[in-house]
Structure 1
Amino acid sequence: MILCCGEALIDMIPNEAGAYTPHVGGAVLNTAIALGRLGVSTGLITGLSSDPFGAMIAEHMTASNVSTAYAVRSARNTTLAFVHLDEGQATYTFYDEGTATREIRPDDIDPAPPETEAMFFGGISLCNPPVADSLLTLALAQPERRLVMADPNIRPSFVSDHDGYRARLNALIGRADIIKLSDDDLNWIEPGTASLADKAQAILARGPKMFLLTEGGDGATVYLQGGRHLHVAAQKATVVDTVGAGDTFNAGCLAALRAADALHPAAIADLPEAILHDMLTLAARAAAVTVSRAGANPPWASELA
């Protein structure tokens, strides 16, 4: 089983008439949904409200084969994210303070069950306390034999304390076996004029065994310790919007590693080129389906067969 750890929220997305309509979303929930639809046993550690939006999220999780058993239940409101689209590219305004996910404390989270193969962390839940500190504590508590992947999916305008956020990300990067960043995220974490390849090596020097770089229409690259790297082109797609594309990419990578029996830290550093190519290709294909339809709507395994 893979446990995804972070926000589940409601994306308010404008329709053709400009009116906002609710869609279940959140970067970490999107990754969990994509994993469940790809046939991977998945659970989500998140805050789940008793309000109508919380019920909507729970129904969506169940329908996509994602367990709600690990959610922290409360009567606090669900986080809302208003999505602004410009030629299909999404930016967000979040309403998060005091919500079901934001207020998660370390004692609210049960230890991961023994059958957990990997833990995934990311999204806006890493931005601000208390949930951000709670998730970092959880990540650092994982045994070395359990794979940890993280995708911060950075939203600088949402961060209340940039120094604290950078310190939290540095600690998470130091523990993670796999880090995934977009080119924009990488430039935020590693500012300066160095090439993306050099910045990728700087991330690996902090401890991860694998670094995944996504560049939108320019494709994706995997970098490994020792200088190995492999690039695949983006899959062609008619873009409706980019909501959930990177989250689906994460799920595709994890699902491919699990199918190759490589979902453990000891296997990551020495993966053969064929497995790396299959991983990036599956992830890119899944992401292409997601961008071709409105909102975060990842593909089912049957759609990729």
Structure 2
Amino acid sequence: RRLARLVFQGLAAMVTARNVPRRRQNLPAMGREDEMPGGSASDAEANVPVLTDKICLIPGDSPVVRIEDAPGNARRIFTGVDIRAHVDDVWEVLTDYGSLHKVVPNLVENEVIEPLDAGGVRLWQVGRSTWRIFGKNLYFQAGCTLDVRLHPDGLCNSGLASAGERICASKLPSKHLSSAEARAFGAKLKLVRDVFPRPFSIAVPSVPVRDITMQNVLGKKGDFVHYQGVWRLQPLEGCAPPDVAMMRLTFAVECEPHWFLPVAPVEGRIADALTENMVAIRDHVEAKLERARREKAEAPPPD
């Protein structure tokens, strides 16, 4: 009965998603130039496979997002946004696990199951992406049991591996590949547990980065056979106006749903949900800092 219910849910989500065109036009650098008819070579190259600290995003603009094929029923999705804040401000939000659903609206379930070592945690989360068609609300949602691990010195120094980045970000192959070459490389790169996807942002060795990894827990409930991702936080001094702190937040994830839910019809929904998360985190952090600045300015001078 459980299998029949899961199959029905998967087919229902697939049907509703197929009835809705992919909203690529609303997402800058959606990363599917291989599917864009009439796209020029310059358009394809503008969709970089990885963000460097020489690339400045527009503050307040929509996050950039990139979708890449992976072997089998899987995708790798990358998204990033620049935030007018310090790294500590965003780190504080992402590690306040029990309050994540208050910041991210499409996180409809967020349960802290148990703490893990070194500040990590095991979570049960359900994310939902909603859209309207013909006056009706449709949605795609998926849940996962996740282990969250903190890497305050970055993956480079954690002993973990990411695809193409065994020791340090400077060895990332995609840094030297065109968008199309990186896409072809990724399409053949197998999903391997504990080998995380390449972070969507890299920096020179002198720039400190912090990483947070998320990975589905084998044998626990969830809608993904494979789900593992990397949040990266780094300061962005080269893009900051005078006297303004800037940081970059990116997320890279590889995901493979169960066999009864083909990933192609829902990849756009997953990407939409991730970009909505980015916007929600950015807006929450910037609004909180603005309130603090305003309160400080309005406070009476000390006696």
Q: TM-score, normalised by structure 1?
A: 0.25
TM-score, normalised on structure 2? 0.25
Say which structure is richer in strand.
Answer: 2
